[in-house]
Amino acid sequence: AQTVTQSQPEMSVQEAETVTLSCTYDTSESDYYLFWYKQPPSRQMILVIRQEAYKQQNATENRFSVNFQKAAKSFSLKISDSQLGDAAMYFCAYRSGRSGTYKYIFGTGTRLKVLA
């Protein structure tokens, strides 16, 4: 069975600084997808970034980028130039690439605080 681990329950970052949230996962599959979701206090879960396991290039979305280390099964999220609006719970998630598989496996989350 696949598992996703987020070892940092809470992180703080100064506004305009850079922070990295860690995520590790365990799987025996070679085809899968990884996601970072953000859930602000207003509660809607929003996709931040998506990574395909077969792509070696790290995904980026504006100030958000990932460090995907497939051999180490690590998928960390880097937030550059942190803004107050980045304060939220961040969840790492895994989905199998097998057709007909619908289950997303979530980590326990990291609460990010942004200090003004």
Q: Which residues contact 11 (CB under 8 A, 6 or more apart)?
A: 19, 21, 110, 111, 112, 113
Applying CB under 8 A, does 11 fall inside the site for another protein?
Answer: no
In degrees rounded to 5, what are phi and psi of residue 86? -80, -10
Number of residues that bind another protein (CB under 8 A): 28
Q: Which one of the spans 11-19, 61-69, 80-88, 104-112 is the region binding another protein (CB under 8 A)?
A: 104-112
- Minimum CB separation of residue 3 from another protein in Å reads 12
Strands (E), 53-109: 60-61, 64-69, 74-79, 88-96, 104-106
Among 35, 75, 77, 88, binds another protein (CB under 8 A): 35
Which residues of this protein are in contact with another protein, per CB under 8 A?
A: 32-33, 35, 37, 42-47, 50, 52, 89, 91, 95, 97-104, 106-109, 111
